[in-house]
Amino acid sequence: MPKTIAIMTAMPEEMEPLRALLQPKEIYHNKVVHIEQAGDLLLLQSGIGKANAAAACALLFQLFKPAALLNIGSAGGFAHDLHFGDVVVATELLYSDADATCFNYRLGQVPQMPPTYPADPQLLAAAQATAQLPRFAGHIRFGQVLTSDSFMSSPSLADRLRQEFPQALASDMEGCAAAQIAYTFGTPFLNLRSISDIAGEEAAASFDDNLELAANRAVDFCRTLLDQLREA
């Protein structure tokens, strides 16, 4: 296992299960970002959205230089066969609101940056091994995850993005931005999210009802993944 691993969430509700278990000590904060430490783990609460995620990750990497970053929390499901509480591990991330196709970039690609941000192979392999444990059977999916500053409550937006990104399993509001900064700093990165809502299907109400479930399921899988990494 890398010497120090950072775990990132956007919201305090997503971090609360870890805080309750680990009783971390705060080592940095500003108006938005909170960084805490518990043994060999750093906990980063970034704030919601791509800009907050990017700024928080840059601070984390510059000040504390973790060996890897796991981004956990909630997400909206794009695949209709996902259920609330299922965990989606991103094999790659891209932006659903980036469009420079007029300059021959791929849809979802920021100019002069990679088309997608693939998961770190070692972290992804450990997540795949974790998913084989009987307790997670049928509840872990691996695939493409989108990032946007838009919450996916609009049925028309969700339908359009399903057509434009037919391989996408889920959408969040921070993952690809965190992956981009991890790429810039050369830090291994993995994004894993638990489903709190299905994009376009009464998503706001579902999110409120299922956030606690999603937070607990994401933390549960993350803690088991950490055990796998420690044994490696």
The set of catalytic residues is 14, 197
Rounded to 5 degrees, what are φ and ψ at 145? -125, 135
**CB 5 within 8 Å of CB 226:** yes
